[in-house]
Amino acid sequence: MTENPLAHRLDYTLAELDDGALAASPIALFQRWLVDAADLPEPNAMVVSTVDAIGAPTSRTVLLRGIDDDGALWFFTNRQSRKGRALAENPAVSVLFPWYALQRQVIVLGTATPLPAERDDAYFASRPRGSQLSAWASHQSETVASRAALEEQMASVEERFPEGSPVPRPPHWGGYRIEPREIEFWQGRPSRLHDRIVFARDGDRWAAVRRQP
């Protein structure tokens, strides 16, 4: 008999967040948790949620590609995509790191602003060639008639930039810097009495509180 996945329950027992975490640096704590997740598949995957001009929320997974000293998170995308258009209207974002195997998650609330062109260029130049070509070939978030049509677009780009020639960064492709205003650390605990430590930013300082689960 197949087990009903909706009936599955896991008791969380791997770790804890004691009250000493209230005095920690949220950036240092996040970086430590990121290192702890290094052996997981896609440890830098984060779910970015945006709100468009009519107030409709959407979420998608992207990859964290950098962290500033002050905790700002970087990711790169097509700025003409659905998320890019939403960020142009409303720069507020929510970011979720779902490290289920560690019984942990981190939620970052903040504001996204475009990275400068020189940083976009530097990161684009470091990408694998196939990823560079895909950035030109894919009109991200737009409809396409078929997989074959998508592959035809890729073939056209490969002809435009033959093997051995540099692939410049598309003008519509670039990065965002998410400046956090709140960071929540969640650690699963037995009996659903989980730990939630929340850091809120006040200027250059962070204040921490424990929230009830």
Catalytically active residues are 192
The CA distance from 176 to 111, in Å, is: 10
The CA distance from 180 to 144, in Å, is: 35
The two tokens of residue 43 are: 């440890």
Instruction: Residue 210: name the closest of 21, 73, 68 by CA.
Output: 21
Q: CA angle, 109 as apex, 105 and 114 as ends, to 5°? A: 120
Helix axes 147-160 and 129-137, enclosed angle (nearest 10)? 110
**134, 124 contact by CB (below 8 A):** no
Which region holds residue 134: left if phi is over 0, alpha if psi is between -120 and 50, else beta? alpha
- Which residue type, as a one-letter code, is found at position 10? L
Q: CA angle, 18 as apex, 95 and 179 as ends, to 5°? A: 25
Can you say how many angstroms the Cα of residue 129 is from the centroid of all Cα atoms in its chain?
Answer: 22
